[in-house]
Structure formats: structure tokens, C-alpha cells
């Protein structure tokens, strides 16, 4: 593509939300952490090494009886509070700025669980109610 010789209308998106196709056999709950599987379909976050964090589900979508991509789900990016893991995987204020790892669709942990978990996002803050996670 050649350099511009006149003004260009460059379209923009806010980057706050996107709609992604849901994997077959999956049910996504509103408010949950969702991830993209190796095939690029949205699934609930789970202990697995092949997931890419997608964001927080903005709606409940049921594709349990459907095939990959039969339905889509609106996903938000940003900073969200999820549940903190327990004992050795408990996230503390000292972990702010580090990666956290998805245990399930509502819980994050300090470690990868001996390389069994995918990165959920960056630890933004920690309070008595959970862990604030930045997901882009």
C-alpha cells in the first residue's frame, strides 16, 4: 500500500468490548472470566495451558448443544475483581504487577500450578474481597 496523498477516514474502536464466537459444548456465565481456546473459540476459563484470556463475559450464552461458533458472546476488557485462590497460591499485595493464572471461570491464582494453568491477566490490586485483574 502506498503512502497517503490525501486525508484518510481511519475507523476506530474503543477496545472495551468485542463479540466472539463460543465453542461448541460451552456455557458462558455473565460476569465470568472467558478465554479463547486453541481453535479461537470462547470457552469458560479453566485449568488448562492452551487458553488465552479474553475478558469478562457481559452476558450468559448457552452453546452446550451447539457447534463451534453457533452463537457469540459479548466480552469486556478492563480491570475486574475475581476470587483469590487459597493457601500456597493466594495472591497478596506483594504480587501486584505480576501475572495471575486462571483456576476456573471466577478464580485466579499466584502460580501456574506446575505449568497446568494459563495466564488470566495482570494483578492490578488485591483486597479482602478478591483480586483485581487487568485483562486486555
> What are the pLDDT digits (tens) for 62-88?
999 999 999 999 999 999 999 999 988
pTM: 0.91
- Identify the band that residue 29 occupies on the pLDDT scale cut at 50, 70 and 90: very high
- Identify the band that residue 1 occupies on the pLDDT scale cut at 50, 70 and 90: confident
Confirm whether 82 is domain-assigned.
yes
Confirm whether 4 is domain-assigned.
no
Residues 65 and 93 in one domain: no
- Is residue 31 a contact partner of residue 133, using CB atoms and an 8 Å limit? no
Residues 104 and 85 in one domain: yes
Distance (Å, whole) CA 106 – CA 38: 20
| Greater model confidence, 30 or 1 | 30
- Give the count of domains, the chain: 2
Residues 65 and 84 in one domain: no
- Is residue 111 a contact partner of residue 89, using CB atoms and an 8 Å limit? yes
Distance (Å, whole) CA 19 – CA 40: 12
- Which residue reads 488485591 in cell numbers? 126
Distance (Å, whole) CA 61 – CA 59: 6
The closest of 71, 73, 69 to 55, measured between CA atoms, is 73
32 lies in which domain range?
17-76
Amino acid at each position: 500500500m502506498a503512502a497517503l496523498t490525501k486525508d484518510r477516514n481511519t475507523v476506530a474502536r474503543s477496545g472495551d468490548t468485542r463479540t466472539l464466537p463460543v465453542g461448541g459444548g460451552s456455557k458462558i456465565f455473565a460476569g465470568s472470566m472467558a478465554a479463547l481456546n486453541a481453535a479461537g473459540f470462547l470457552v469458560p476459563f479453566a485449568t488448562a495451558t492452551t487458553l488465552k484470556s479474553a475478558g469478562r463475559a457481559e452476558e450468559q450464552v448457552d452453546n452446550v448443544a451447539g457447534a463451534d461458533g453457533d452463537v457469540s458472546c459479548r466480552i469486556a476488557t478492563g480491570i475486574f475483581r475475581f476470587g483469590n485462590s487459597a493457601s500456597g497460591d493466594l495472591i497478596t499485595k506483594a504480587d501486584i504487577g505480576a501475572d495471575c493464572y486462571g483456576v476456573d471461570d471466577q478464580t485466579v491464582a499466584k502460580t501456574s500450578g506446575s505449568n497446568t494453568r494459563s495466564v488470566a491477566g495482570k494483578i492490578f490490586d488485591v483486597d479482602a474481597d478478591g483480586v483485581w485483574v487487568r485483562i486486555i
